[in-house]
Chains A and B, each alone.
Chain A
Amino acid sequence: MSTAPSEAICEVAVPNREGLHARPVMRFVDLASRFRAEVTVSNISGSKERVDGKSAMQMMLLEAVQGAVLRIEARGEDAAEAVKALAALVSKSFGMYAPNEGQAASNPPGGPSDP
């Protein structure tokens, strides 16, 4: 008996001042890659094109600035979990400024220093 793949959608705004640059992209992609579901993301404040959420290259193309709303969609067994985790990551500024992260100090928020 086949199970219909589950789907989940969520929309969340990018809180970081510098938007979706290299480090946020990598954190998102690393997390998304842990799930089996297919993940697609689109920037509904921008080009609205759907990209692969596990692709470092494509996620960079979203051109999501601070305040841009990302639409995260997942399809597959753990779709709901995936979307929940990813939305949480985004809303917490990709975990970049959490006080218990040792790296936060060496990576202060501020655009151009983020490669």
Chain B
Amino acid sequence: MEILRGTSVAPGAVIGEAVILEAEEYRIPYRTVAADRVDDELKLLAEAIRNSIEELGKQAEWLNTHLGRDAANIFDWHVGVLKDERLRSQIETLIREKHAATAHATSVVMRNYQRRFLQMNDPLLVERIRDVQDIERRLLRHILGESREDLTHLSKPAVLIAHDLTPTQGAQLADTKVVGVALDVGASTSHTAILLRSLGRPGVIGLNDVSIRVSGGDTVIIDGSNQLVIINPDEATLNEYRSRQEAFVRFSTELDALTHLPAVTRDGHRIELYANIEFPHEAKVGASKGATGIGLYRTEFLFLMPSGAPSEQEQYEAYCEAIRGANGRPITIRTFDLGADKYTQQRRFEQERNPMLGLRSIRFSLQNLDQFKVQLRAILRAAAVGSVRLMFPLINSLMEFRQAKMTLYDAMEDLEDEGQEVRRDLAVGMMLETPAAAIQVKEFCREVDFISIGTNDLVQYVLAVDRGNEQVSQYYSPSHPAVLRLLRDVLRACTRARVDCSLCGEMAGRPLYTMFLIGIGLRTLSMAPANIPEIKKLIRLTSLTHMERIARRVLTFDTERQVNNYLRDETRKLLPEDPI
């Protein structure tokens, strides 16, 4: 039994059979075989080894001819490993004695070796992991045949283990029997994490090397509430989790009962709990969790699909679907916030050295006006079917906002010239997510129709921490007094100017911060749908007076630790058993 610690993206615990998502999406279908199949499995192994060696031989020959001996040498050791009798007998022993399936046995043995290389001091030797992984993949390819089973063909609950997940892969999980996810990489506000959270299945990320430590078919527990992944748990642990699973199901059912109740404090103040969505169909999911609107529709996920940039019509249809899903309730559509994520970075000529500070988001849009206008047109046309607001991300100066608005007016004019009816009174606002925007909030209040605070990016810029870098994730915390003070100041300005202000960062969905945020004046919080019921539960248990008192107290603290301890204690008083 092995216990790994990471960062949680979604609470709850699940037990499942591991499915490893390789870079080429191989999946080891089963762990053991019937006794009478053992001989077949041994033959399969022998054949796979033979074919792999042959294949390597051909590749080495090609390399030798075209690039010379040195390049071909790379494969000498690979061939040596494939011919390694000791290695082979280790795999065969697993097959014979444990009736392991060839693929599983191979994976277990190869991963054991990978782990040992990981522990080496010599960095060149550590690199051997890549070779061993390569050899493993080659063998698996021959063992499993070219058939790459995709996740939609899972027959029982599976836990997905991978190095990383592309947005496409994450989006596809919704229709599968994947009940939990564990990833090597990822910080809690990256696109991947957002996706996983919206799936509502327990997830733990930032585990570094879980994809090497787990072999396909292993039993794995994903404990999103405690940020743990347990590989091959012993009987006692399994039993404990089984009973915990039951408790969690009960807890979720209890929360579901709140769906149709309003988020009203004990002293009668109503708080709007909205949903953040990435895909049009999630609008309905939000409603099912009790969202009274969509506070943030992240349109960039349309661009992260493998089919490439969507046309105006495709965008229009997606936006319409989302708006209809909102069913008359308000929906705020945000224009593309792309550029800093690795998917767009990889498609660039030259990767930026500092993507977070680079050509991203509204800056990117304003330098790609054709594409920007296409999106604006699609949103404007779709706005006719519902209660839509439009929001620009990462606005950092008044000029930027004015420019974006001008482009919007241009698009409006074009549409009107084409005979389309356009709502000139469309509410246009901004995401407040940079220090400059926060400092100039009063000036912005005069020009925008509304403000939504994007704490994900705001925290990273204010604290000078890359939210995507696991190595510094401990420095990224919304509890930092500087952040809290800034939020208070922004709210103060918006309240005075009577400008609608909401918050749509991950902070909104964390019970720990609810009382503070409402206490400083927020009345609309937008979050992943899965978080809505618990936040609602908390709001209904307390009064605005109490929350304002909490906020005042929090603002007297100097350190993150004091803030966290205090908020944790106060929140626990209202939600004693809930996994915070």
Q: Which A residues are closer than 8 A to B by beta carbons?
A: 19, 21-23, 25-26, 29, 52, 54-58, 60-61, 63, 65, 103, 106-107, 111-113, 115
Contacts and interface: CB of A to CB of B under 8 A. Distances in A.
Given A61-B116, A63-B122, A103-B69, A22 B86 contact: no
Contact of A54 (B69, B73, B85, B124): B85
B113 A57 contact: yes
Pick the 8 closest A-B CB pairs, nearest first.
A56-B80, A55-B86, A22-B77, A115-B74, A52-B86, A56-B81, A55-B84, A56-B84
A71 B70 CA distance: 30
Interface residues of B, number: 24
B69 A106 contact: yes
A29 B81 CA distance: 10
B122 A65 contact: yes
B68 A106 contact: yes
Contacts of A115: 70, 73-74, 76-77
A55 B124 contact: no
B3 interface: no
A48 B247 CA distance: 49
Interface of B: 68-70, 73-74, 76-77, 80-81, 83-87, 113, 116-117, 120-122, 124-125, 128, 132
A21 B80 CA distance: 13
Contact of B120 (A29, A58, A63, A107): A63
A98 B101 CA distance: 46
**Listed residue (A29, A55, A58) with the most chain B CB atoms within 10 angstroms of its CB:** A55
Contacts of B70: 106-107, 113, 115
B124 A112 contact: yes
Contacts of A111: 124
B68 A29 contact: no
5 contacts: A55-B85, A60-B77, A63-B122, A106-B68, A107-B73
A54 B89 CA distance: 13
Given A22-B76, A25-B80, A26-B76, A63 B85 contact: no
B360 to A, nearest CB: 35
A83 B125 CA distance: 26
Nearest to B110: A57
